[in-house]
């Protein structure tokens, strides 16, 4: 059960924003009041069994013809708030694996009683026993140390981070966490993660086939400027999360879930509790009045069927600002058999208003294309230096990175815009440039930038190995 109250403009979900994996026996309570909130999920192409969200009777209204209107959507998951605890527990099938912490519908998994044993498989386990040790691990993983990213870790004591500001573990799809993290029944607490500089935000940002078990977190997540945010993980790509819990105060991003933003893995016996709000970030608070999130793996047979009938690739979120292109009657010739085609129609000169940092892009993914695309606007370190920026002062690079062997300013990028997935036959009219890492917008002037176009198969969601790029001039002007 995720005890999540969401109040912000974008759609959000108490448990998972977008699910293409397996979620079973899970519940979310105290759904917020906004029309854009969803009780359990926003998008689901995976498996949901024995799942629900608890909301008051006002969450359901009845039309004159008897039709029921569910305020938060997900009608199959709705559970009235006057449902007795016993019925909820029976529905979720959690007898014996949870313990009560309050007599007012508050439960939590017994992390020690349900402790998940991790076979060591002849590999060394790195023990984490202090804030300094944890930050050292994070730094290694996020700096591109592949050995560190795939290693096995175990907490050996509770860790109070004493208000530290941390990065997500696995800051991007290209720098994921793919190892094993055994919380050992311990808690990491009293820290903040600011997702402003990352597309994915959570204690774990992006995980790929990772295994995370027996972990408890208590922290604040500032995910409002990230694309995908989740209390435990921003994006779970394969792998397993088992016997974990997270208590948090959360300001979510465009695609937010209490436990995970996006999931294509297995989430078992885990819960999240806290509050999501688009204003000030709320301090973490312990669960009272009902806070429980449980997800148990479905049967082996069901998993086999799902894996054989569903694409293994996680769908990239469709851009909410895309609009269909008017059909001009152009005859579309298919590409040669066995090949794919990316077609581009865009402004090579984009004029951006300095007051809003919004520019007219007019990017079209025409019907003759065979791929969906994600667009990224990036500026090189060389271009920023040419325009008079101090890379260290504006927090684009550290001095150590500038001095590192192999550093090439012409191939080091700062991403200023990323779209969602643009489908075939759709267009995006405008783009909004983000600030540099120091929080300051680019100054008025002309900038040569690179538009990177990532292609995705519209059927399987597989990302293409070879993608496209185009040189674009950005003119930032006063108006």
- Of 398-407, 423-432, 453-462, the range with the lowest mean pLDDT is 453-462
The reply to whether 124 falls in a domain is yes
End-to-end CA distance of the chain: 50
Supply φ then ψ for residue 61, to 5 degrees. -120, 155
Quick one: average pLDDT of 292-309?
A: 26
The reply to whether 317 falls in a domain is no
What is the reported pLDDT for 319?
87
Quick one: average pLDDT of 427-431?
A: 90
457 & 338 share domain: yes
356 & 443 share domain: yes
What is the reported pLDDT for 239?
93
The reply to whether 71 falls in a domain is yes
User: Residue 121 pLDDT more than 80?
Assistant: no
270 & 332 share domain: no
User: Residue 364 pLDDT more than 50?
Assistant: yes
156 & 72 share domain: yes
User: Residue 210 pLDDT more than 90?
Assistant: yes
Quick one: average pLDDT of 375-387?
A: 94
CATH number where 334 lies? 2.60.40.2550
What is the reported pLDDT for 390?
95
| pLDDT: which is higher, 104 or 346 | 346
User: Residue 14 pLDDT more than 80?
Assistant: no
41 & 185 share domain: yes
What is the reported pLDDT for 367?
83
461 & 327 share domain: yes
Q: Which of 210-214, 253-257, 312-316 has the highest mean pLDDT?
A: 210-214
258 & 334 share domain: no
268 & 340 share domain: no
Confidence of residue 320 (pLDDT cuts 50, 70, 90): confident
8 & 33 share domain: yes
| pTM more than 0.85 | no
139 & 57 share domain: yes
User: Residue 372 pLDDT more than 60?
Assistant: yes
The reply to whether 66 falls in a domain is yes
In the listed set 287, 309, 331, which residue is the last one of a domain according to the structure?
309
- Decide the pairing of beta strands 106-109 and 98-102: antiparallel
The reply to whether 166 falls in a domain is yes
What is the reported pLDDT for 23?
80
Q: Residue 400 is part of which domain span?
A: 323-477
In the listed set 243, 277, 309, which residue is the last one of a domain according to the structure?
309
Tens digits of residue pLDDT in 142-156: 999 999 999 999 999
The reply to whether 256 falls in a domain is yes
The reply to whether 26 falls in a domain is yes
119 & 268 share domain: yes
Number of structural domains in the chain:
2
User: Which region holds residue 80: left if phi is over 0, alpha if psi is between -120 and 50, else beta?
Assistant: beta
Supply φ then ψ for residue 300, to 5 degrees. -60, -40
Tens digits of residue pLDDT in 46-103: 988 877 767 777 777 777 777 777 776 777 767 787 777 777 777 777 666 666 555 4
Quick one: average pLDDT of 414-427?
A: 91
The reply to whether 342 falls in a domain is yes
264 & 139 share domain: yes
Residues above pLDDT 90, as percent of the chain: 33
Quick one: average pLDDT of 448-468?
A: 80
């Amino acid at each position: 059960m995720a005890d999540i109250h969401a109040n912000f403009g974008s759609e959000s979900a108490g448990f998972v924003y977008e699910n293409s994996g397996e979620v079973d026996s899970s519940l979310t309570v105290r759904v917020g009041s906004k029309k854009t909130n969803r009780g359990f999920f926003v998008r689901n192409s995976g498996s949901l069994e024995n799942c629900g969200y608890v909301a008051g009777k006002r969450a359901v209204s009845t039309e004159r013809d008897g039709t029921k209107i569910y305020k938060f959507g997900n009608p199959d998951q709705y559970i009235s708030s006057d449902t007795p605890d016993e019925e909820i527990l029976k529905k979720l099938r959690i007898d014996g694996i949870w313990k009560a912490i309050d007599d007012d519908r508050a439960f939590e998994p017994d992390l020690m009683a349900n402790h998940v044993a991790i076979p060591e498989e002849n590999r060394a386990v790195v023990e984490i026993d202090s804030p300094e040790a944890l930050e050292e691990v994070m730094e290694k993983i996020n700096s591109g140390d592949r050995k560190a990213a795939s290693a096995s870790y175990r907490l050996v004591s509770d860790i109070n981070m004493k208000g530290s500001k941390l990065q997500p573990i696995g800051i991007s799809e290209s720098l994921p966490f793919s190892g094993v993290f055994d919380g050992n029944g311990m808690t990491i607490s009293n820290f903040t993660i600011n997702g402003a500089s990352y597309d994915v935000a959570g204690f774990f940002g992006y995980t790929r086939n990772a295994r995370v078990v027996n972990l408890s977190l208590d922290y604040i997540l500032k995910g409002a400027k990230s694309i995908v945010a989740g209390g435990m993980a921003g994006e779970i790509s394969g792998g397993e999360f088992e016997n974990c819990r997270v208590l948090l105060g959360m300001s979510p991003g465009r695609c937010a879930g209490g436990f995970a933003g996006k999931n294509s893995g297995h989430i078992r016996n885990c819960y999240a509790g806290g509050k999501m709000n688009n204003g000030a970030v709320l301090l973490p608070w312990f669960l009272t009045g009902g806070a429980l999130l449980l997800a148990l793996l479905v049967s082996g047979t069901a998993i086999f069927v799902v894996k054989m009938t569903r694409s293994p690739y996680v769908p990239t979120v469709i851009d909410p600002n895309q609009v269909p292109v008017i059909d001009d009657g152009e005859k579309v010739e298919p590409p040669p058999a066995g090949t794919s085609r990316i077609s581009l129609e865009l402004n090579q000169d984009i004029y951006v208003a300095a007051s809003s940092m919004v520019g007219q892009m007019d990017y079209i993914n025409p019907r003759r294309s065979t791929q969906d695309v994600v667009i990224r606007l990036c500026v090189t370190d060389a271009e920023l230096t040419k325009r008079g920026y101090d890379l260290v002062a504006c927090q684009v690079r550290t001095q150590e990175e500038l001095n590192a062997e192999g550093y090439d300013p012409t191939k080091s990028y700062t991403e200023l815009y990323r779209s969602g997935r643009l489908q075939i036959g759709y267009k995006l009219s405008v783009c909004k440039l983000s600030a540099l890492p120091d929080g300051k917008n680019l100054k008025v002037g002309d900038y040569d930038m690179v538009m990177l176009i990532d292609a995705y198969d519209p059927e399987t969601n597989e990302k293409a190995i070879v993608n496209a790029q185009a040189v674009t001039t950005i003119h930032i002007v006063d108006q």
